Amino acid sequence: MTRLIIMIVFGVLLLPGSVRADYYVTGDITGWSSKFLGFALTSTKVDAVQGEDGKIRALAMSYKNVDEYKEKEGRCWINIQPKSEIGKLINFFNSTNFYVTNSKGEYEKIKNLESITFPCVKK
């Protein structure tokens, strides 16, 4: 009996790890950046992100978590800017830079990126 209980507890502990889903990017990643103190939003393609080591890399093609997933639309959203005031303050000191490729093939920093969205599938 004790052995059965241990197996059940062990199985339950492993269950969350085996149920996790990944969200796979199936198209272009776009983002919304704010202008004019947040009164205007513009859509832009997002090509790269700057890592903690300062190197610019292509965005990931899969994500363990997203902020919103709509299965019917096949679309994922990830919020870049926090919604709360304290989150905005923390983000000011620990911001991530995102980039778009210009016509010359060079990276340009995207200012005030609010969120990114992309077509995705959940697996």
H-helix or E-strand spanning residue 31: strand 30-35
Q: What is the pTM of this model?
A: 0.71
Query: Does residue 32 contact residue 15 with C-beta atoms inside 8 Å?
Result: no
Q: Give pLDDT tens digits along the chain (123 positions).
A: 434 333 333 333 344 444 467 999 999 999 988 876 667 788 999 999 998 888 999 999 999 999 999 999 999 999 887 665 544 544 555 568 899 999 999 999 998 888 899 999 999
Amino acid 33: pLDDT: 87
Distance CA 11, CA 83 (A): 37
